Amino acid sequence: MNRTCLWALTLAALLVTHDAVAAGPRCSLRTVVGTYAGITHGNLWVGTADLRTLDPASVPSPELAPPLMPAAQLGIFTVGADGTVTAVVWSGLGSTWWPNLSFTGTMTVNPDCTGQLVYSPFGAPVSNIERLVILDHGWRIEGISQQIPLAPPLAFVSEYHRIGSPFPGGGNHCGQALARGSWVMTCTGFTPTETPNGPVSLSSAMLAAFRVNGTGELGGTAMHKVGPGFIDQTITGALTVNDDCTFDASLDMRPALPFVFAAKGLFYDWANRGAAMPMTATADTPGGPVEAPMPARVCRLERR
């Protein structure tokens, strides 16, 4: 082959490569078919709205300058070949929780890897609409709320991560052996605290490092920032993994903090990462243990 032919072939290859790069990522519904861990966090403008009824008539006037309330959601989203989405989630607004909430929806995908998710989690006549960006060939999806049928309005961002399974056969099947090993967990949010002037919620953050053994017992250390205070502490607890890659966990913060947290969580990304929502805190009182709901938050876990 002479030099002219080689030059022509090289130029053609470069042009094809340039066109492919310029076109950017290409997606379709096939890109997102599968099961995802859905993680949502944001804020709710609450005012005096009754979160038990989600009644639009309970929205206060803007002059009341209502506070913000944390919102969080965690669950399993399955996308079918036709774009139908089925979900089972645990949702929290402030300290009000809706466990095991099921709903269906529809996902659409554009060739440029943007898309939309439409669903009605509370059976509202107006649907939630999330705008989506699909990443890593469908391994991860990022979303933001566009329309919410909830008054007062809620603003949130969402992440969807493929669950996967490290066990032979793949799929989304998990088990207790999945939790064994060393983990790091980070949390931010609010912690209910008793003061001489009554209960308040202080801003808080936690960084914990712990190990889970083969039976699900966990132990480690944590650094906990609550309001103006900082605490170094040891932690104990338990973590039980379900077949669908969800898990139930307890985290004993005593004696540094007078709480035992109960959380619901979910592993994803081939069980190397996870998310959890502490839903209740049980405190020892002179009259016996008292359980109270936790303000909504999402904690992140990563295998060390």
Instruction: For residue range 130-158, list pLDDT tens digits in order.
Output: 999 999 999 999 999 987 665 556 789 99
Intervals of CATH 2.40.160 along the chain: 176-303
CA-nearest of 119, 121, 148 to 56 is 148
What are the structure tokens assigned to 97, written together?
A: 């929780």
Q: Which of 43-47, 177-181, 238-242 has the lowest mean pLDDT?
A: 43-47
Rounded distance, CA 68 to CA 94, Å? Answer: 9
Banded pLDDT at 90 (limits 50, 70, 90): very high
**Within 10 A of 256 (CB to CB), how many other CB atoms are there?**
14
Which pLDDT does position 147 carry in this prediction?
75
Q: Please tell me which residue, 124 or 109, carries the higher pLDDT value.
A: 109
The dihedral built from the CA positions of residue 234, 238, 241 and 246, taken in this order, carries a sign that is: negative
Q: Any idea which fold 176-303 has? A: Porin (2.40.160)
CA-nearest of 158, 141, 140, 169 to 243 is 169
Rounded distance, CA 213 to CA 198, Å? Answer: 40
pTM score, whole prediction: 0.81
CA-nearest of 179, 245, 246, 251 to 215 is 179
Q: Any idea which fold 29-51+66-162 has? A: Lipocalin (2.40.128)
Q: Please tell me which residue, 35 or 12, carries the higher pLDDT value.
A: 35
Intervals of CATH 2.40.128.120 along the chain: 29-51+66-162
Q: What are the start-end ranges of the H helices in the chain? A: 3-23, 29-32
What are the structure tokens assigned to 218, written together?
A: 């966990």
Name the residue with tokens 């309330």.
Answer: 69
Q: Please tell me which residue, 204 or 18, carries the higher pLDDT value.
A: 204
| Backbone torsions φ then ψ of 291, nearest 5 degrees | -100, 135
